[in-house]
Homo-oligomer: A and B are copies of this chain.
Amino acid sequence: MLVEGVHFDRGRLDDHAIGARAAGANLSDIAAMAARPLCLVAGFGLPEGFGGAEQLAAGLASYGVPVAGGDLSRAPVLTLSVTAIGRAERPLLRSGGRPGDRLVVTGRLGAQAVSGYTLPVRPRLAEGLELAAIATAMIDVSDGIAGDVRRLAAACGCGATVWLDRLPLADGATVEQAATGGEDFELLAAVSPGAQLPDWVTEVGVLSEGAAVELVDAAGTARELHGWDHFR
């Protein structure tokens, strides 16, 4: 669910971009399960006087995934709830990683934070399907790797170490933006120790025994960094 004032600001994104963002964020979850999208279903909550429903719908459809249905309602602030439905022969879960698995990410991190969360979302659908061949667990980086690595590790029953100096930084991004900015919608995967890595991922850490998750700098010092929390 994307809620005006919580997830987006109508001053920064036009209605088409808001619809696209809602679709892209959900398609990113499909990518993270190594699935192929079949369709989208959307509920829009529209505030009094809002005239952009057609633009929202056009943005929603902009990834070429059919919009199979949905509903409209009155709401106090613009609210979009999108469900992406996909199919996977063998869905890749968050929970299959084991100690010793390497942690890799696609693309670069922090670009959305640098842009003020206005860049188009590019769900990593093709990359998700390809990573399925070597990944033991996968998640999309929606709240910043500092948060999402904790979710992945917890689901695997593991701890983890992330090397902050190895994070692939977007142009102009600080390590903090890359680790905690969120909404980059890259994929974070655990891969078997012996797997051959494609050249479009970056190795950023490792799963470990125990439950401790540490983000360490180049000097080996753990940093207190946390992903974005809607409820914070």
Contacts and interface: CB of A to CB of B under 8 A. Distances in A.
Interface of A: 1-3, 5-7, 41, 43-46, 71-77, 79, 81, 83, 85, 230-231
Contact of A7 (B5, B41, B73): B73
Residues of A contacting B: mostly? strand
Contacts of A74: 3, 6, 230-231
Contact of A73 (B3, B41, B44, B46): B3
A5 B74 CA distance: 10
A43 B76 contact: no
A124 B230 CA distance: 37
A75 B1 contact: yes
A72 B230 contact: yes
Given A1-B81, A81-B1, A6 B231 contact: no
13 contacts: A1-B43, A3-B45, A3-B75, A3-B76, A6-B73, A6-B74, A7-B73, A41-B83, A43-B81, A73-B230, A74-B230, A76-B76, A83-B83
Contacts of A41: 83
A39 to B, nearest CB: 10
